[in-house]
Amino acid sequence: MNSRSAQCLLLAAVLVAGCQRSEAPQSAPTNGASSSNGGATIQIQGAGATFPNPIYSKWFDEYRKAHPNVLINYQAIGSGGGIKQLSAQTVFFGASDGPMTDDQLKAAGRPILHFPTVLGGVVPIYDIPGVTQQINFSGDVLANIYLGKITKWNDPAIAKINAGVNFPATDIAVVHRSDGSGTTYIFADYLSKVSPEFKQKVGVNTALSWPAGVGAKGSDGVAGLVKQTPGAIGYVELIYALQNKIPYGAVQNKAGDFVVATLDSVTAAANAAAATMPDDFRVSITNSDAKGAYPLASFTWLLLDQNPSDKARGRIMSDFVLWAITDGQKLVPELGYAPLPASVVEKEKEALKKIQL
Amino acid sequence: MTSNARRRKIISRIAETCCALAVLIALVPLVMIFFYVIKEGFGSLNLAFFTNTPKPVGEVGGGMANAIVGTLILIGLAALFAVPVGVICGVHLSEYPDSRFSAIVRFAADVLNGVPSIVVGIFAYGLVVLPVKRFSAIAGGVALGFLMLPIVVRSTEELLRLVPSGLREGALALGATRSRAVFTVIIPAALPGILTGILVALARVAGETAPLLFTSFNNQFWSTNIAQPIASLTVQVFTYAISPYDDWHRQAWAGAFLLVMIILTLSIVARLAVRRLERMNRP
Amino acid sequence: MSNARPSADDRKFRIGTGIFAAVVLLIVIGIGVELTRQSLLSIQKFGMSFWKGTTWDPVAGEFGALPFIWGTLYSGLLALLLSTPIALGIAIYVSELSPRLLRQPLTYLTELLAAIPSIVYGLWGVFVLVPIVRKIELWTPDVLRKTPLFKGPPLGVGMLAAALILAVMVIPFSSSVAREILKNVPAAQREAAYALGATRWEAIKVAMGYGKTGIIGAVMLGFGRALGETMAVTMVIGNSPQVSASLFAPQYTMAAVIANEFTEAADELYLHALIEIGLLLFVITIIVNIVSRLLIWSMKKRVVRRVPVAPVAEAQPA
């Protein structure tokens, strides 16, 4: 019968499509040990932070133009996800906005190296009825807002650091991230440094128990919610604020300056930390006390095995990181990130030699 | 007409109006959502969307060709796992409907139907991804297959039961063994309905995101290798939707629109098949 | 149809097909086992207090699932209350009241609702539904605002938005099953009612009474679907773990917290706590299934003629 054969054909077509194997000369499909000759395409799996996703996707694309047989598949599932999948060895490299803790390194069971790639800044965004100018936030004020202690925009503590701004008596609608995120980590890191109460009550992690506010999914979720809720405050990476054209505030650093997030102010924070950079690059540069340094700045790291089981892939990633921290830095500013300070790059070149290939 | 009769008639009219109102109320969000998806997505569909793979932000001409193929491959794999198991399970349940075992299996299928897709995804992660330390299209197909299974089982069982008993008795009277009777007579008679059930199940899993996040992962590049991570429309739409870039947002909506069209097509084909079946089985 | 003496072929057939049926059973058991195994750390550490605890603090390592259980059940119940009348209304209209020509198109349209993937619902929810709910919250008169049901700032995201979106998603499921059931009620039932002088609505009530068990099943099906919904809910519910009766308050569901935090959870206890929530969800699904079956079974006992649970076409007298 016609209808029956037609439906059988449809089902068959779907099944056949599913059975297809790739015709392209792919290397043996494992992530772990596999050797591959230089000619065949080689795919490398990576996972991690969402924050550097735009620049990483650009880098992997550029790198592929120079090395057409290298396909680096990076998925932005989140900093914690990157760490977790790297530890479970389901991906070859990871990426994180927050350095791995000692516990996480121990859980991975093998030495993992951190390589800073770019710098970024987290900004406080807001939507205050009647306020169009850029306002100042001190660490204290931000911490107390997120602790739920400051609840209205016309609170004297906010007015004190914003002379001449007319705040309405609107309730502050606090927005934070519902999903785990390196952005949260950076924000919480700063708040814990400036507010002992925040440190004790909430702490620092990619996912937190927030005393106040609603959780939105993803930085885009936070930006979207803040944009459409009068009286809202949130935190996102600088690029989200710029792309969504949401007003963001200046934040006070340890030196007392109210600094706006720009490429220069973020780099200034990195420069200040470059002098005392630890060998494993696991450093926090929030709440910098350097003049003009943005206090909510942070490195973001690529995580590589010190002793990769797959030497071919290890060689490629090592070469990629070298390219990324040198030539790749040219592509960084146009996407809203700050390039690495030269001294850090030099130190990383040395560290790359540690990888046993 | 007594006043009681009049009152009852009025109540009846009111009730009927309420039902019609219910239909209208349900249509409101439907129209809103469709308008929204079409408005945002249709304009972003272009040739590049169908033929190109994703490009980094800032570069025009990125597409979701790999995600489209990936979704088709994933539901194909899911069908490969779920159809044989589900259909034969349905056969067993319809042949031995009163046994204790069948009752337990039926209950299990209902439970499986209710398990949230994210839990199934976690299960598939532990089963297929962790042991080989690799994300793969196979893992995604397994997760989706688990989600399809209860629908295929139940619809196969129901449809086999609907086959007129005369057909089975006739086959058995002619000396066929049970397996012969079932596989050569009864299943072919119910085939359109069974295929319908499969299509409905495919439509359900084509729109799943959560279980794919930890199984098939996602892939920026063109890949049809089922032992590697593979792109899918749902995950790609999700990734683009939570990004800050307008171009990616537009692509996300185009992807969402395409997804809705694919699912719609599967559902409509299934519905047409049901009509054919009903027309064929009418005495 | 059973033979007096099952032949060898019959036995092979039974065992052969039985193996496939057993696979389905094994999958479900496997899920239960895996979930339990991967949440042992959390079960051992928190025991029963996991169900009663209200703190979810990944930093301090303190996990309590009560806010999520509350959010899941509350949103599911609200979705049920909102969707059932509409789903039944649609089912009745399409199967009893609508003009013949409209029947197919209306059926297609309600099924369109089911074709929309969860993530699309979520996106629409954030950009369209949440602002509307915000406006509704702003318009609520102050006297209602004082009651516990409507307390809280008008954020838009919250339990009300989640319940609304869940209700919309659940309608096509409950409605299509209810429609099938009403279609299978024998004409004799309705005709008898009319013969006794019933109005149209009263005849419908008789038909619904006949198909009561199946309709309950349809409703429970919708409830189960609402409990497990992930993507759409997490985008509109506010993701804030608190136990609150207020429709305006942001809350959190079990499926949403797993989706949000699973990929990020990098330490063992955190991961196990999340999976224990998955286990809880699994258990609740089983309980809902058992309850709906008991309901159906108890109603079956009261009906004189055996009413089939699933919609099976009754053999019409030629």
The domain ranges of chain A are 33-119+297-352, 121-272
Cβ–Cβ under 8 Å, residues B63 and B50: yes
Among C239, C272, C275, most A C-beta atoms within 10 A, so best to mutate, is: C239
Q: How far is A176 from chain C (nearest CA, A)?
A: 9
Which helix (H) or strand (E) segment is C166 a member of?
A: helix C159-183
Nearest-by-CA chain C residue for B238 = C119
By Cβ distance, the residue of A10, A32, A76 closest to B133 is A32
Q: A113-122: per-residue pLDDT in tens? A: 999 999 988 9
CA–CA dist A100, A86 (Å, integer): 11
C317 has pLDDT over 50: no
B5 has pLDDT over 60: yes
Pick the CATH number of A33-119+297-352 from 3.40.190.10, 3.40.50.300, 3.40.50.620, 1.10.10.10: 3.40.190.10
Instruction: Indicate the range of B142-151, B253-262, B264-273, C178-187 predicted with least confidence.
Output: C178-187
> What does the pLDDT read at residue C4?
56
B92 has pLDDT over 50: yes
**Banded pLDDT at A143 (limits 50, 70, 90):** very high
> What does the pLDDT read at residue A16?
41
Residue B148 forms contact with C (CB below 8 Å): no
Domain over C70-263+282-306 is classified CATH 1.10.3720.10: yes
> What does the pLDDT read at residue A223?
86
Q: C176-217: per-residue pLDDT in tens? A: 778 777 777 778 888 888 888 888 888 888 888 877 777 787
Q: What is the mean pLDDT of residues B227-241?
A: 87
Q: What is the mean pLDDT of residues C215-234?
A: 82
**Average confidence score pLDDT of chain B:** 85
Q: Which residue has the higher pLDDT, A83 or C297?
A: A83
> What does the pLDDT read at residue B282?
58
CA–CA dist B145, B120 (Å, integer): 10
Contacts across the B-C interface (CB distance below 8 Å)? 251
By Cβ distance, the residue of B11, B123, B150 closest to C201 is B11
> What does the pLDDT read at residue A328?
93
| Contact call for B9 and C10, based on CB within 8 A | no
Interface confidence, given as ipTM, is 0.84
Separation of CA A77 from chain center:
10
**Banded pLDDT at A237 (limits 50, 70, 90):** confident
| Contact call for A84 and C131, based on CB within 8 A | no
**Banded pLDDT at C315 (limits 50, 70, 90):** very low
**Banded pLDDT at A5 (limits 50, 70, 90):** very low
**Banded pLDDT at B133 (limits 50, 70, 90):** confident
> What does the pLDDT read at residue C279?
92
C117 has pLDDT over 60: yes
By Cβ distance, the residue of A79, A178, A205 closest to C58 is A205
CA–CA dist B85, C267 (Å, integer): 37
B107 has pLDDT over 80: yes
> What does the pLDDT read at residue A157?
92
Contacts across the A-B interface (CB distance below 8 Å)? 135
| A144 Cβ neighbours under 8 A, 6+ residues apart | A150, A157, A195
Residue % of chain A over a pLDDT of 70? 89
Q: Which residue has the higher pLDDT, C31 or A16?
A: C31
C316 has pLDDT over 50: no
Residue that the structure tokens 């020509």 belong to: C101
Domains A33-119+297-352 and A121-272 belong to one CATH topology: yes
Structure tokens at A308: 């990769």
Structure tokens at B175: 């000396």
| Contact call for B123 and C30, based on CB within 8 A | yes
Query: 276-315 in C: which are within 8 Å (CB) of B?
Result: 278, 281-282, 285-286, 288-289, 293, 310-313
> What does the pLDDT read at residue A25?
31
Q: How far is A147 from chain B (nearest CA, A)?
A: 26
A174 has pLDDT over 50: yes
Q: What is the mean pLDDT of residues C128-142?
A: 87
Per CB-CB distance under 8 Å, the chain C contacts of B268 are: 108
**Banded pLDDT at A252 (limits 50, 70, 90):** very high
**Banded pLDDT at A4 (limits 50, 70, 90):** very low
| Contact call for C23 and B209, based on CB within 8 A | no
Sketch out chain B's domains with CATH numbers. Answer: 68-233 (1.10.3720.10)
Structure tokens at B260: 């809705």
B105 has pLDDT over 90: yes
| Contact call for A76 and B75, based on CB within 8 A | no
Residue C188 forms contact with B (CB below 8 Å): no
Residue A181 forms contact with B (CB below 8 Å): no
Count of C-beta atoms within a 10 Å radius of residue B172: 16
Amino acid identity for residue A356 in this structure: Q
Separation of CA C124 from chain center:
21
Q: How many residues does chain B have?
A: 283
> What does the pLDDT read at residue B88?
92
C128 has pLDDT over 80: yes
CA–CA dist B62, B52 (Å, integer): 6
**Banded pLDDT at A235 (limits 50, 70, 90):** very high
What's the CATH code, domain A121-272?
A: 3.40.190.10
Q: Which of A86, A82, A31 is nearest to A52 (CA)?
A: A82
> What does the pLDDT read at residue A28?
33
Structure tokens at A116: 């800073």
CA–CA dist B233, B242 (Å, integer): 14
Per CB-CB distance under 8 Å, the chain A contacts of B72 are: 14, 17-18
> What does the pLDDT read at residue A24?
32
**Banded pLDDT at B50 (limits 50, 70, 90):** confident
For residues C86-105, one letter each, b for 16 or more C-beta atoms within 10 angstroms of the residue's C-beta and e for the rest, the string is bbbbbbbbbbbbbeeeeeee
By Cβ distance, the residue of A61, A90, A223 closest to B133 is A90
Q: Which of C226, C228, C177, C188 is nearest to C210 (CA)?
A: C188
Q: Which of A303, A268, A262, A302 is nearest to A285 (CA)?
A: A268
Q: B116-131: per-residue pLDDT in tens? A: 888 898 899 888 988 8
Q: C261-275: per-residue pLDDT in tens? A: 887 777 788 889 999
Query: 76-95 in B: which are within 8 Å (CB) of C?
Result: 84-86, 88-89, 91-93, 95
B144 has pLDDT over 90: yes
